[in-house]
A and B are shown apart, each in its own frame.
Chain A
Amino acid sequence: ELKVEQNPLFLSMQEGKNYTIYCNYSTTSDRLYWYRQDPGKSLESLFVLLSNGAVKQEGRLMASLDTKARLSTLHITAAVHDLSATYFCAVDFTGTASKLTFGTGTRLQVTL
């Protein structure tokens, strides 16, 4: 069965702290996506990771992909309140970029 699991499901962190969200998936893939969703809003694409060892950074967020371990991480550096949202990873198991299997989501709450 194709599965994508994220942990933690909920993360409360203080401003200025660092933390990592983990995304594990069940079978071979080298295409992984990270999205952000604000409450009541749509999904916004953050990163596209297309190969083993891929690393991408945007502001305080950095995503990486280890296809051998079937693991992606989303690292948050010096969190700020504006990063509060739900973060989803999604894996393309088809190799055609046409079907994404989403993780359970990690709800991030950054407190002052």
Chain B
Amino acid sequence: DTAVSQTPKYLVTQMGNDKSIKCEQNLGHDTMYWYKQDSKKFLKIMFSYNNKELIINETVPNRFSPKSPDKAHLNLHINSLELGDSAVYFCASSAWGLGDTDTQYFGPGTRLTVL
């Protein structure tokens, strides 16, 4: 069973469209994240949710809106897509706290291409 899954894997769309990416984890974690990886492979956190509550919201345009219907799901909706939104988006999850083995588990990524 996949621990952290994302759909779709690839997304090609026109500028100005609205699209969503879905993420689900079956690890029983209570914290989930969205990261953006640009063309130079630089990874930056966008959002973090703990128990369905937004705890980290980096300086991301408000065209990006995360939604967490429950602890196991964190979706990302993007309005009015722009060329600069083209990137790979990774979902991740972790257990909240400072445990010795706590790390973030990443999904397979969604490659978004805006034309």
A residues neighboring B (CB under 8 Å): 31, 33, 35, 37, 41-45, 48, 50, 86, 88, 90, 95-102, 104-105, 107
Contact = CB atoms under 8 A, between A and B. Distances in A.
B101 interface: yes
A88 B109 CA distance: 16
Nearest to B94: A97
A68 to B, nearest CB: 20
Interface residues of B, number: 27
12 contacts: A31-B98, A33-B103, A35-B106, A41-B108, A41-B109, A45-B105, A97-B94, A98-B48, A98-B50, A98-B96, A102-B43, A105-B42
Interface of B: 31, 41-45, 48, 50, 55-56, 90, 92, 94, 96-109
Contacts of B45: 99-101
Contacts of A101: 45
A86 B43 CA distance: 12
Contact of B103 (A41, A48, A98, A104): A48
B106 A42 contact: yes
A33 B103 CA distance: 8
Given A88-B43, A99-B45, A105-B43, 17 more contacts: A35-B106, A41-B108, A42-B107, A43-B90, A43-B92, A44-B106, A45-B105, A48-B101, A90-B43, A97-B96, A98-B55, A98-B56, A98-B96, A99-B48, A101-B45, A102-B42, A104-B41
